[in-house]
Amino acid sequence: MKIEITNVLTEKQKDNINNLQKTCNDFENLKGEVFLSNEINFNKDIPCFFLGYEEEKLVAFLTIFVPTREEGEISTFTHPAYRKKGNFKRLLKEAAEALRKNGVPKILFVAEPESYTSKEVLKKIGETKLIRSEYTMSYLKEKFQKNKNRKGLKFKLASEDNKKIYSQITEEIFKMSEGTSNNFVENAIKSTDRDAYIGYLNSEKIGVFNMNYTEDGVFLYGLGIRERFQRKGYGEEFLNFALEKAFEKGEKAVLDVDSDNMPAYNLYKKLGFKIDFQADYYEYYI
């Protein structure tokens, strides 16, 4: 198998990857979709796409999502006719080496619970541990009712003027290392399909959230409230405002929530979000 390694994909490569994933999903009745951009990776120069070819045909693919230096999330799939030939093992070796060279110590394998192939592969890798599940949930515009009760909250778009404030709050809320969130806010400021917001209560900065506008819907992420303002109803007001902004540009809002964040999960369910997809995360140290 010939392997191509890159950090930016061509449109032709993206088409081939999407076609391969559709074949694999249809074979096992799966729903996963890979993210084919490096724009949120903490270092855009890290090779994050690994394509395996047999006689010019794409038969295997692996991608790494590396938002921080702590870990790289790996998603991968191989054409059913080319499995059990060592193709995944070769791609994983290259990916692990790329992470190692850039000081990333840990891999998170992303797998759908219905995928029997993923379970077999994880057993062969060994020393992996299921650490959490993540649920993709969605909310349709037709069900949304605008809530005018803001509890005194105001929201500002992240910009060059306040990006340092945004980074500090994000790192505090999500217990990230200093400077880790800089990449998120820079992308939101410079990108035409992303926004980041800071929420204020009078002069107090109490939380943040982000939006990514796509053809399939508006993806909400990085929503968090500072600890001393939690459990006071502000999370619901943040989400209501985020939905209001989302539905100005799309018909569906989408977000992910971890199984170890039950307060957020329960809030999303309360507001009417429905589960579309589940992914399990298996930890593996390089």
pLDDT band at 241, cuts 50/70/90?
Answer: very high
pLDDT band at 212, cuts 50/70/90?
Answer: very high
User: Could you give all domains of the chain from N- to C-terminal order, each with its CATH number?
Assistant: 2-126 (3.40.630.30), 138-277 (3.40.630.30)
The pLDDT, as a whole number, for residue 216 is: 86
Between 93 and 152, where is the model more confident?
A: 93
Could you report how far apart the first and last alpha carbons of the chain are, in Å?
24
Which helix (DSSP H) or strand (DSSP E) does residue 105 occupy? none
Q: Is the pTM of this model over 0.75?
A: yes
Looking at residues 222-248, what average pLDDT do you find?
Answer: 93
49-54 and 153-157 beta bridge pairing: unpaired
**Mean of all residue pLDDT scores within the chain:** 93
Q: How far is CA 203 from CA 153, 154, 155, 206, 281, in A?
A: 10, 10, 11, 9, 39
pLDDT of 148 over the 80 cut: no
pLDDT band at 150, cuts 50/70/90?
Answer: low
The pLDDT, as a whole number, for residue 14 is: 97
How many C-alpha atoms does 239 have within 13 Å on its Cβ side?
A: 22
pLDDT digits (tens, 9 = 90+) for 26-36: 999 999 999 99
The pLDDT, as a whole number, for residue 149 is: 63
Looking at residues 226-232, what average pLDDT do you find?
Answer: 93
Looking at residues 99-123, what average pLDDT do you find?
Answer: 95
